[in-house]
Amino acid sequence: QVQLQESGPGLVKPSQTLSLTCTVSGGSLSTNYYYWSWIRQRPGKGLEWIGYISFGGSTYYSPSLKSRTSITRDTSKGQFTLQLRSVTPEDTAVYYCASSAKSIREVTSLNDYDYWGQGTQVTVSS
């Protein structure tokens, strides 16, 4: 059973970098055939896919966010991280990590994500 847990600061100042960590248990980032994604939900908005790092270490980002986004992993710690640079209050959201056996071009619905973290609230404010 794969479990995911987000962690990181709940408050980030504008222009700074939002950094979150997802800790994975019950599965391996490198040997499990999963794509490890970051997804967020802004107030009054639907879920928005940010990007993923694959089991092989390749990354892919939403075109709208790719210029500000980096996803990395530390397989020895069972963790992957999100860095979202130059944040504004519009980046305030609940941030989730999630795992899918499908690449983004194969995903057709949220049901394709097999495992989710509980989500963590991040507020961008001065």
Q: What is the pLDDT of residues 37-72, one digit of tens each?
A: 999 999 999 999 999 999 999 999 999 999 999 999
SS3 assignment, position 90: helix
At residue 113's C-alpha, the angle toward residues 103 and 49, to 5°, is 70
Return the pLDDT at 10.
97
**Which of the four pLDDT bands, split at 50, 70 and 90, describes residue 89?**
very high
Q: Answer with the residue of higher pLDDT: 104 or 87.
A: 87
Give the CA count within 13 Å in the CB-facing half-sphere of 50.
27
> What is the residue type of 30?
S
DSSP state for residue 8 in the 8-state scheme: S
Task: Tell me how far apart the alpha carbons of residues 38 and 50 are, in angstroms, rounded to a whole number.
Answer: 5
Is pLDDT at 31 greater than 80 in this prediction? no
Return the pLDDT at 32.
73
Give Cβ neighbours of residue 35 (< 8 Å, ≥ 6 apart): 52, 53, 54, 55, 99, 100, 101, 102, 103, 104
Instruction: Please identify which residue in the block is written with the tokens 């992957």.
Output: 80
Give Cβ neighbours of residue 74 (< 8 Å, ≥ 6 apart): 80, 81
Mean pLDDT along residues 12-38: 92
Return the pLDDT at 30.
80
Return the pLDDT at 35.
94
